[in-house]
A and B are shown apart, each in its own frame.
Chain A
Amino acid sequence: MSLELLTLILVVSLALMLMAGQWTAFALGICGVLVLYLSKGVIGLTALSSVVWNNANSYILIAVPMFLLMGEVILRSGVSSYFYRGVAVLMGRLPGGLLHANIASCAVFSAVSGSSVATAATVGTVAIPEMLARGYEPRTVFGSLAAGGTLGILIPPSIVMVLYGALVEESVARLFMAGILPGLLMAAIFMIFIAGLLLVKPHYAPPPDVSGKSRASDAIHVFPVLGLLIVVLGSIYSGIATPTEASALGAAGAIVLAVGYCSFTRKVFAQSLMATVKTTCMVALIIICAQILSTALTYSGVSRTVSEWVMGLGLGKWAFFLALVVLYIVLGCFVDGISMIYMTLPVLLPVVKAFGFDLVWFGVILTVLIELGQITPPVGLNLFTIHAISGGAKFSEVAAGSAPYVALMLLVILMLCFWPGIALWLPTTMRG
């Protein structure tokens, strides 16, 4: 069968499966099997077993459930609520203080949780009722949470970066370190934006809290979570632990914190474990199936055809980059981040390498693009999350509140293009 026809069949069947609502993982796997069968017959299928096994039995992937468990335990044991109250006290005196507290807590909490959804849900559950009760403008509240939550995958530890590192065979530790400064930069830009917004529209937030309801001593709750963060990231940065080892350390540390707050019950632990299993299986099956698809693309030659076609377009380095950004923004409106990376990179990675992009830098850019995808409708996981816990707000309100942050993220990408050092400086200072 000709490669053009095969490519056409692949694109059509994938689009059909995804649009029909097939679970993303299965859609990728089904198309992979189809392409493999059409190009190599039944014999081609025997390659499947090693793809399935090798991708599940991977040392790097152990970090995924561990980091997820760390976040789940902190969320479900209520340690996160204490932490949020601590930050709220520290930030409460600024105008629109709790909005800043949202961004700051998301930035820190994202460091103990690998996922954006968990970050947004954790901070949101505590923040939304309190802020609406105090008279904050709802859309601003939702926007700050949805956008702040996305920091979860940029600031390490980050599940997305673990998976990207595994795929392109780049050091996960370096990727983690590369995400820190861009993450802090983005948090700072978000906070400047909020401050600016409140200058123009001061009625969006109530006056600074002077009721004395919150006690200064609450601020102490900031430290346990910060401490855990320093231990986990410090051990990776100093080279004492691999990201996988640090993830286990983090999960154990989260349990110690929960025990310290006397909130580590059997129920909390069981729920955390089950939630971890659910997310891990979801992520793992996407990876396995996407690798089936990518194996099929390589075996059949479709991969090379597409890569060569892209190279043959004669695009310059930055024109290609711009096209990639647009592609990921569009894809991000429909598909989740992990599927997006695993679907596109096996084909595009050779081109990215050929243009001489630094893969660590590219990983950071890709992560920002995925963050962007999480707050763009119609399919934005963070929008769904905030909508689900908002207590009856309209989905459009959440989306409208998040819209300005899309522009801010594009600004960060632009800054990263002009000053790649923002991402690449910290990894160069690492030991080990």
Chain B
Amino acid sequence: MTDEIAGYLNAAAIFLGLAWTLREGGFIRVEILYDRAVGRFKQALRWLIVLTATVFSALTLWVCTRQVIYAFDNDTRAVSVIETPEWIPQSAMVLGLAVLLLQLLAWIVDRVRRIP
């Protein structure tokens, strides 16, 4: 049982930390071109990065939200002693992904000038 809950907490920590890690520049990338690019080219790269990441995050959020709604409606339970309703721990996933999307959208509104 402790293993199960530790797993949920770990997953929650991961998802809820995503947006912050993104803003702090915690994700790694291949810097060769990006770090040397300047001016318009750099701005174009930033748009490419942020837009594709946004589409990906939105898709993932949409799919995961549907999953959680499904789990809630059908009352699916974890195969364990305490039979945790799956939607409870999985809500952290949806919340985390939503905040991640929000961060990316905030950058788009800001015209991607401040991405790390």
Residue B110 at the chain A interface, CB threshold 8 Å = no
Residue B72 at the chain A interface, CB threshold 8 Å = no
Count contacts on A: residues with CB < 8 A to the other chain. Answer: 42
Contact digits for B1-25, partner A, Cβ 8 Å, 1 yes 0 no:
0010011101101110110111010
- Bound complex: CA of A59 vs CA of B3, how far in Å? 7
Contact digits for A57-79, partner B, Cβ 8 Å, 1 yes 0 no:
11101100100000000000000
Residue A306 at the chain B interface, CB threshold 8 Å = no
Q: Which of A140-164 contact B (CB under 8 A)?
A: none
Chain A positions within 8 Å of B89 at CB level: 57
Residue A284 at the chain B interface, CB threshold 8 Å = yes
Residue A211 at the chain B interface, CB threshold 8 Å = no
Q: Which of A45, A52, A59, A65 contacts B93 (CB 8 A)?
A: A52
Q: Which of B23-80 contact A (CB under 8 A)?
A: 24, 26-35, 37, 45, 48-49, 52-53, 55-56, 59-60, 63-64, 66-67
Complex: chain A residue closest to B97, CB-CB: A52
Residue A238 at the chain B interface, CB threshold 8 Å = no
Q: Would you call A17 and B27 a contact (CB within 8 A)?
A: no
By a beta-carbon cutoff of 8 Å, the part of chain B in contact with chain A is: 3, 6-8, 10-11, 13-15, 17-18, 20-22, 24, 26-35, 37, 45, 48-49, 52-53, 55-56, 59-60, 63-64, 66-67, 89-90, 93
Pairs A-B, 4 closest by C-beta atoms? A21-B34, A49-B67, A281-B21, A23-B27
By a beta-carbon cutoff of 8 Å, the part of chain A in contact with chain B is: 17-27, 29-30, 33, 45-46, 48-50, 52-53, 56-59, 61-62, 65, 244, 277-282, 284-285, 334-336, 378-379
19 contacts between A and B (CB under 8 A): A22-B29, A23-B22, A23-B27, A26-B53, A33-B59, A46-B63, A52-B64, A56-B10, A57-B7, A59-B3, A59-B6, A62-B10, A277-B13, A277-B17, A278-B20, A278-B24, A281-B20, A281-B21, A285-B18
